[in-house]
Amino acid sequence: MTKHLTSRWHRLFFATIIIGIVSGFGGMFLAILLHFIQHLAYEHTVFPILGNKSFLYVVSDSTAPRRLVALLLCGFIAGFGWWVVFRYGRPLVSIASAIKSPRPYMPIKTTLTHVLLQIVTVALGSPLGREVAPRELAATFACWLTNKLKLHPKESQVLVASAAGAGLAAVYNVPFGGALFTLEVLLGSFRWFAVIPAITTAAIAVVISWIGLGNQSLYHIPALILDTSVVVWAIISGPIFGFAAYWFKEITNRAQHRAPRDWRIIVFCLFNFFIIGLLSIYFPAILGNGRSAAQLGFDGNILGLSIAAVLLILRVLIVCSSVQAGAAGGLLTPSLANGALLAVVLGTLWSYLLPGISISAFAVIGGTAFLAAAQKMPLTAIVLIIEFTGINFSFFIPILFAVAGAISMFNYCATKRLVAVVT
């Protein structure tokens, strides 16, 4: 009996370490691949650790025909690629579905193709997020490894979820955020048997990713000053972000349900990304997963009220249209960008009453609140924004108020809709 338990713990320890290492290399590889494709399309830097030009700067500096051709290519690859996946591949299994199974399973070839399509299309300008790809890559490996090692079903589920969180941690350099994502979103548990592998795999993955991606914050923001006015704004605006996040989630869910899976996906994607290409001629900040738009909000007073409003509307429209066209990707960074842009609008209006406050503060608070509500992960969102930006911990107070208000309004809207459907 003792020998059996020792062998089991050895296998569990081995699996945890290997999953952390593979998740780190996988996230690093996908990030470098994304930058390499951006380099081919827009002459962006291949290695983030060596480059000092942002994607927005490079895209803005490219010619209008180049943007249009890149987006047309994106539409063709997205449409044809996912048509092949749905036509000839095995049914895709989500991470959430995999960890509910006694024997977590994700089809390797189909999932790898799905992952690469996400990275390629986001690199070419798709407005969807890139964070799902490293999570799925790591989770697929974890499914294979845990089945090979014949681990207990509960152990397998925890390790697959931990792998997904580690993949997120590696690509964004957010070890604590990746671990919290595993615990809060995927497992819904903070017990020790889940906490230890979640933290361990995320930490290992991030350290590995430093080899190619470096150890730096994802976003750069100016020094923020906390005062009473910011706290009051956070309390008042929190429910607004929750209401907006609810409808963004509803619209994207409906769009996903209506997305084609047959030959029409090729036509829809080509048309959708052609339109995005035309829009990018005048608004290059809409391209990519939303990082450029979010950074503009975090930069402070660079965006005016009208430009922020236009970017917000366009970002919401093209994210929803891309989902409905059949493209795949995450909504984490798009949600953060939506919140930051909406915060610039609301913060600018607030500044008319009480001038002198940096718009960056509003953008950070609003981005967190929108992300927390839209992705239903308040704790993870708060930690992510801290690791994303390196902000002062004193900003916990307004962020907590805004997140609380946003989550409350989101749940209120969801409950009212549920009541309406039931009755």
Enter the tokens of residue 42.
Answer: 């827009």
Phi-psi category of 288—alpha, beta or left, where left has phi over 0 and alpha has psi -120 to 50? left
The b-or-e profile of 192-218 (16+ CB within 10 A means b, else e) is eebbebbbbbbbbbbebbeebbeeeeb
Lowest mean pLDDT across 39-43, 203-207, 299-303, 332-336: 299-303
Angle between helix 153-172 and helix 2-42 axes, rounded to 10 deg: 30
Enter the tokens of residue 135.
Answer: 């999570």
Are 366 and 342 contacting, i.e. CB atoms less than 8 angstroms apart? yes
CA distance 273 to 333: 19
**DSSP 8-state symbol, 376:** T
Whether pLDDT at 299 is above 90: no
Q: What is the pLDDT of residues 212-270, one digit of tens each?
A: 998 888 888 888 888 889 999 999 999 999 999 999 999 999 999 999 999 999 999 99
Are 164 and 106 contacting, i.e. CB atoms less than 8 angstroms apart? no
3-state secondary structure of 17: helix
Mean pLDDT of 79-107: 93
Whether pLDDT at 54 is above 80: no
Q: What is the pLDDT of residues 328-356, one digit of tens each?
A: 999 999 999 999 999 999 999 998 888 77
Bridge partners of 129? 330
**DSSP 8-state symbol, 150:** T
Between 379 and 395, residue with greater pLDDT? 379
Bridge partners of 337? none
Position of tokens 């994210």?
319
The domain segmentation of the chain, as residue ranges, is 2-213, 228-422
Mean pLDDT of 279-307: 89
**DSSP 8-state symbol, 286:** G
Contacts of 313 (CB under 8 A, 6+ apart): none
**Average pLDDT across the chain, whole number:** 91
Which amino acid is present at 239?
A: P
Are 54 and 48 contacting, i.e. CB atoms less than 8 angstroms apart? no
Does this chain's domain 2-213 share its CATH topology with 228-422? Answer: yes
Please enumerate, as own/partner, the contacts of 41-46 that have beta carbons within 8 Å and a separation of 24 or more: 41/66, 41/70, 41/73, 41/123, 41/124, 41/125, 42/66, 42/67, 42/70
How many C-beta neighbours within 10 Å does residue 348 have?
A: 18
- Phi first, then psi, for residue 374 (nearest 5°) are -65, -35
Enter the tokens of residue 147.
Answer: 């089945």
Are 163 and 23 contacting, i.e. CB atoms less than 8 angstroms apart? yes
Q: What is the DSSP string of 99-125?
A: TTSSS----HHHHHHHHHHHHHHHHHT
Enter the tokens of residue 41.
Answer: 């399309």
Q: Where are the beta strands (DSSP E) in 233-289?
A: none
- In CATH, 2-213 is 1.10.3080.10: yes
Enter the tokens of residue 288.
Answer: 């990519």
Query: Which architecture characterizes domain 228-422 according to CATH?
Result: Orthogonal Bundle (1.10)
- Binned at pLDDT 50, 70 and 90, residue 411 comes out as very high
Terminal-residue alpha carbon distance, the chain? 56
Burial, 257: exposed, middle or buried (Cβ in 10 Å; 0-12, 13-18, 19+)? exposed
Q: What is the pLDDT of residues 144-178, one digit of tens each?
A: 999 999 888 899 999 999 999 999 999 999 999 99
- Phi first, then psi, for residue 90 (nearest 5°) are -75, 155
Q: Cα 43 to chain center, whole Å?
A: 24
Enter the tokens of residue 104.
Answer: 């977590």
